[in-house]
Amino acid sequence: MENLFIMKRSEINNAIKDMEALIKAHGFCLPPFAGWTAEDWKDKGHEYDEIRDTMLGWDITDYGLGDWNKTGMALITIRNGRHGSDIYTKTYAEKLLMVKEGQYSPMHFHWSKSEDIINRGGGTLIVKLYNSDENYGLADTDVCVNSDGHTYYVKAGTDIYLEPGQSITLKPGTYHDFNVLTGSGDVLLGEVSMCNDDNNDNYFYEHVGRFPKIEEDEPVYRYLCNEYPKANDTEIKM
Query: What predicted TM-score, i.e. pTM, was given to this entire model?
Result: 0.93
CATH topology of domain 6-215: Jelly Rolls (2.60.120)
Instruction: Supply the DSSP string of 79-125, one letter for each residue.
Output: E---TT-SSS---EEEEEEEE-TT-BEEEEEESS--EEEEEEEES-E
Query: In this structure, are residues 156 and 143 in contact, taking their beta carbons and an 8 Å threshold?
Result: yes
How many angstroms separate the Cα of 152 from the Cα of each of 6, 161, 162, 169?
42, 14, 15, 12
Question: Tens-digit pLDDT profile for the chain (238 aa)?
Answer: 455 578 999 999 999 999 999 999 999 999 999 999 999 999 999 999 999 999 999 999 999 999 999 999 999 999 999 888 889 999 999 999 999 999 999 999 999 999 999 999 999 999 999 999 999 999 999 999 999 999 999 999 999 999 999 999 999 999 999 999 999 999 999 999 999 998 899 999 998 988 888 999 999 999 999 999 999 765 554 4
Q: Which conformational region is residue 144 in: left (phi greater than 0), alpha (psi within -120 to 50 degrees), or beta? A: beta
Q: Which residues pair with 33 in a beta bridge?
A: none
Q: How many CB atoms lie within 10 A of CB 103?
A: 20
Between the two ends of the chain, the Cα-to-Cα distance in Å is 42
Q: Quick check: helix, strand or coil at residue 17?
A: helix
Report d(CA 52, CA 121) in Å as an integer: 29
Q: How far does Cα 76 stand from its chain's mean position?
A: 7
